[in-house]
């Protein structure tokens, strides 16, 4: 038997679930000082929304875009916030193309528990880079995803690419 060591996932496994959950993960990251953005994986703060690397990614470069406003309803966000979120999604895709050269993307939001929302009270969009043939037996048989780069390394590359992007 072969072993795939992923000790960084223990924090996720031990974290409180459901009603035990502490504060909203997105609001917590926003309240932190900007000097802690790297530790919190926050890549960019706009006027109304921000880009963050998913701490538990499906693939390398899995980003999320969320509004500053704590709301689980996309339709309750004002038009300026919705517009900025879409702008940041586009900017994220351009930066991911530059750094990782994916062949496609999954972009979407799970709105509500029935839709699979892991954080249902703070709307957010996922940007998941994809490559032809990037699926394998690990997620299906072993319920394990293989992430080939450390998150801080991904952060540094994407931060530089986002700084080069114009709005």
Kindly state the tokens that stand for 113: 């528990």
- For the cut 60, the answer to whether the pLDDT of residue 2 exceeds it is no
Distance, CA of 100 to chain centre? 15
d(CA 30, CA 68): 7
Kindly state the tokens that stand for 41: 């994986």
d(CA 74, CA 153): 32
68 assigned to some structural domain: yes
* Token pair 């300026």: residue: 80
What is the SS3 string spanning 22-84? CCCHHHHHHHCCHHHCCCCCEEEECCCEEEEECCCCCCCCCEEEEECCCCCCHHHCCHHHHHH
82 assigned to some structural domain: yes
**pLDDT band at residue 24 under the 50/70/90 scheme:** very high
- For the cut 90, the answer to whether the pLDDT of residue 6 exceeds it is no
- For the cut 60, the answer to whether the pLDDT of residue 20 exceeds it is no
Among 48-57, 102-111, 147-156, the minimum mean pLDDT is found in 147-156
Looking at residue 105, its pLDDT comes to 94
What region, left, alpha or beta, does residue 15 occupy, with left being phi > 0 and alpha being psi -120 to 50 degrees? beta
41 assigned to some structural domain: yes
Reported as type and span, the H/E element at residue 145 is: none
34 assigned to some structural domain: yes
d(CA 137, CA 135): 7
CATH number for 96: 3.30.428.10
12 assigned to some structural domain: no
* Token pair 């690990």: residue: 138
- Domain residues for the domain of 107 are 23-161
Give the total number of structural domains in the chain.
1
10 assigned to some structural domain: no
Kindly state the tokens that stand for 87: 């702008």
85 assigned to some structural domain: yes
Model confidence over 52-87: pLDDT tens digits?
999 888 888 999 999 999 999 999 999 999 999 999
4 assigned to some structural domain: no
d(CA 10, CA 13): 5
Residues noted as catalytic: 124
Contact 61, 69 (CB under 8 A): no
pTM of the full structure: 0.78
């Amino acid at each position: 038997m072969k072993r795939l060591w992923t000790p960084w996932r223990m924090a996720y496994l031990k974290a409180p679930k459901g009603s035990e959950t502490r504060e909203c993960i997105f609001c917590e990251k926003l309240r932190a000082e900007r000097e802690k953005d790297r530790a919190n994986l926050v890549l960019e703060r706009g006027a109304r929304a921000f880009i963050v690397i998913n701490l538990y990614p499906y693939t390398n470069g899995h980003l999320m875009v969320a509004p500053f406003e704590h709301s689980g309803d996309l339709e309750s966000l004002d038009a300026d916030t919705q517009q900025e979120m879409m702008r940041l999604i586009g900017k994220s895709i351009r930066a991911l193309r530059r750094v990782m050269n994916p062949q496609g993307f999954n972009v979407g939001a799970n709105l509500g528990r029935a839709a699979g929302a892991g954080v249902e009270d703070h709307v957010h969009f996922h940007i998941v880079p994809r490559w032809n043939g990037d699926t394998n037996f690990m997620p299906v048989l072993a319920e394990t995803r293989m992430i080939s780069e450390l998150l801080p390394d991904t952060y540094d590359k994407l931060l530089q690419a986002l700084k080069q992007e114009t709005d």
